[in-house]
A and B are shown apart, each in its own frame.
Chain A
């Protein structure tokens, strides 16, 4: 297992390098630049700015310096858009926000999604099953950009219970609506995945054997059926978790939470090269880490899977 982990980690480094190079090339191929504006800057002014940000150098040199300062100083450079803030500042302020509402959304989506899926599978073709399936389908078709305004309408305008947006350091009343809006569609996917996987497991031979031995039903579900049921769910959870903690542009935009989801999109629109690169690398590293974690979890859950041969 250790060997496997090390091997995966050693692949991760070139993967991230390739990610940096491709993002860099894509970014530069987009028309316009960070300092393109409706009022084109006088040539001399633009020259000074390009010199300050190193944009006057050839691209390979820019890329090299960029990677070098990340590796040696963990410095992602200054933001081209927010001129008195660095990308490190932006991520340091934005990431904890998305991490908080993303983690809560994940916990809620997994807890409720898995429970709903299991209940639906055990009580297949009963009212409970129809309710669970109905609920998850409606949650799935209600995307967060529809969900968010509805929540605000109800809880802010009609009931006046919750603030319509903001973050204020992540006080509970500011977290509730973003979490609900973000978690519902994930919750629905998890519920449907769990249900179908559970149904398959329940019909397999080893469960039938367990049942014929007279084991109580809860014991069959919890200690025999649950682990194999979760296998396909877990492979979905890795990328889903990364998606949630790196924020959603809809959530950040709608609830003005100040998370990095909005920075990602704004960075692209503003051609804020350093910010896009910084967040891309962050998302890339998280994706690699969590995919690795999923693989390790797999081996732990399913004894049939062995990575060291």
Chain B
């Protein structure tokens, strides 16, 4: 301080001039800072959204992608026929409008004429024909080709098996801007399926020129709001605004950066250091983070369940064939301990297989869900005794789960509850993921952990798992009534009562022990606006985001 006063008069003048200049500059930047066209909020100068990804995506080729992190990127790089809004409703994408015939097995999409590829070419119906044929082409070997089959497109399954050439797929371009799809069955929700990455258009000339290298920065031609500019495997992927995107003038965010950080705790550290706008909440830390950063820590129900499945096939143990044992074991688990004390992030105790957040699903009040834990415990003891097991004749088995700290905690608590209440000796065994999947799919277990995330927002995505023909039914549960109700549900406009009935059957037969329904948790910078909290599938589009100034 003293130094300033000892300066000569000239020096003081110079300093005050600088000071005035500095002030006017800050003032000027405020005047010119952009405002959000609708809300009028002052926008931040740097419109970059940086988010955390646990793993490197498997692919950014729309027809090949199979994971969520890859699909998140593809929704920015490409645009399909239709998009979802912040609440998950359908909004136009490349298609301005669409219509179906009365029997809902022919869909016609009218494409906008101003949609462009990032190289300037127009996006036409032929691009969709090419992409959809590419998805079913055995040469593409897309792990998601089956999606075209469940879309019931004519010749979909036949093309995948190579019985007919991909050109026989039931899609055609009536003209450059009219795309028509022929289905083998009436599908009222077909249009909604075109928000899925597998159905996004791809640029034929680029793919033919570069082969599998076409997704590299510099080679890729895409039609989304952003274009790929940088990709380092296991480190980062950068996409920047595509000025040729038809709705570019309404895009605010300039740049999106995905950083691969394979450790959740490190991801949180980097979020807290300000390096990320969206970061993870490591398991068990939500409560603490919510208290410290109430506006940033977010939890919302997800379409995923967590359960243990009995092996009901011949290779399973006899005790589990007894419904009383299965029920006793399901009753004896205090789910609130697991959700409140272990997970602590807004997970929901589960008494049904299907999560309550699923659209059009009324959670049935199944008997054991209505009881208090004390009632469940005494009922469990009663059932277990009736089945002939007790402290003198304890039931013993091995429970398997894939290696993870979180699964271990839950398995430990479950084994302890069974031991204390029912005298069960459960041996815990963890194994590496692929080994675990292999063993479970071969029914080489007694009771195994399971979890399932819905492919779409409807109860059948969960309940299909427990039907006899399902390839995912690792416990080999089989009930003719369930199979019948599920088959019937496919043809009904409103199948919710079928689903409720099935959940009642499951509660009385207990082929699986539902533990909890997942919650999605993340940390989000309060400057970032536009996150689609209302979209239960969490399909987000960066072009709807913007960053406000501090």
Q: Which residues of A contact B259 (CB under 8 A)?
A: 166, 256
For A51-67 the 0/1 string (1 means CB < 8 A from B) is: 11100000000000000
Complex CA–CA separation, A31 to B445 (angstroms): 15
Establish whether residues B160 and A48, one from each chain, have CB atoms under 8 Å apart when the complex forms. yes
Q: Which residues of A contact B452 (CB under 8 A)?
A: 38
Q: Which residues of A contact B198 (CB under 8 A)?
A: none
Complex CA–CA separation, A263 to B55 (angstroms): 11
Known contacts A38-B437, A84-B215; A157 and B143 CB within 8 A of each other: no
Q: Which residues of A contact B263 (CB under 8 A)?
A: 253-254
Complex CA–CA separation, A39 to B269 (angstroms): 33
**CB of A262 within 8 A of chain B?**
yes
Query: What's the least CB distance linking B93 to chain A, in Å?
Result: 23
* A window 12-44: CB within 8 A of B: 30-33, 35-42, 44
Instruction: Give the contacting residue for A166; candidates B142, B161, B235; CB below 8 A.
Output: B235
**CB of A89 within 8 A of chain B?**
yes
- The CB with the most chain B CB atoms within 10 A, among A38, A152, A262, is that of A38
Establish whether residues B160 and A165, one from each chain, have CB atoms under 8 Å apart when the complex forms. no
Q: Pick the interface stretch among A75-83, A101-109, A296-304.
A: A75-83
For A149-163 the 0/1 string (1 means CB < 8 A from B) is: 100110011001001
**CB of B433 within 8 A of chain A?**
yes
Establish whether residues A253 and B262, one from each chain, have CB atoms under 8 Å apart when the complex forms. yes
Establish whether residues A84 and B64, one from each chain, have CB atoms under 8 Å apart when the complex forms. yes
Establish whether residues A82 and B260, one from each chain, have CB atoms under 8 Å apart when the complex forms. no
Establish whether residues B266 and A41, one from each chain, have CB atoms under 8 Å apart when the complex forms. no
Establish whether residues A45 and B145, one from each chain, have CB atoms under 8 Å apart when the complex forms. yes
Complex CA–CA separation, A35 to B441 (angstroms): 13
Q: Which residues of A contact B86 (CB under 8 A)?
A: none
Instruction: Give the contacting residue for B266; candidates A38, A254, A269; CB below 8 A.
Output: A254
**CB of A258 within 8 A of chain B?**
yes
**CB of A292 within 8 A of chain B?**
no
- The CB with the most chain A CB atoms within 10 A, among B59, B149, B235, is that of B235
How many residues of A are counted as interface, with CB atoms below 8 angstroms from the partner's CB atoms? 57
Q: Which residues of A contact B275 (CB under 8 A)?
A: 163-166
Complex CA–CA separation, A135 to B139 (angstroms): 60
Query: What's the least CB distance linking A70 to chain B, in Å?
Result: 18
Instruction: Give the contacting residue for B60; candidates A41, A84, A86, A152; CB below 8 A.
Output: A84
Complex CA–CA separation, A296 to B536 (angstroms): 64
* B window 263-287: CB within 8 A of A: 263, 265-266, 269-270, 272-273, 275
Establish whether residues B59 and A258, one from each chain, have CB atoms under 8 Å apart when the complex forms. no
Complex CA–CA separation, A53 to B143 (angstroms): 12
Complex CA–CA separation, A40 to B437 (angstroms): 9
Instruction: Give the contacting residue for A51; candidates B138, B234, B236, B451; CB below 8 A.
Output: B138
Establish whether residues A40 and B472, one from each chain, have CB atoms under 8 Å apart when the complex forms. yes
Residue of A nearest to B53 (CB): A256
| Residues of A bordering B, CB below 8 Å | 30-33, 35-42, 44-45, 48-49, 51-53, 78, 81-86, 89-90, 93-94, 97, 149, 152-153, 156-157, 160, 163-168, 252-259, 262-263, 266, 269-271
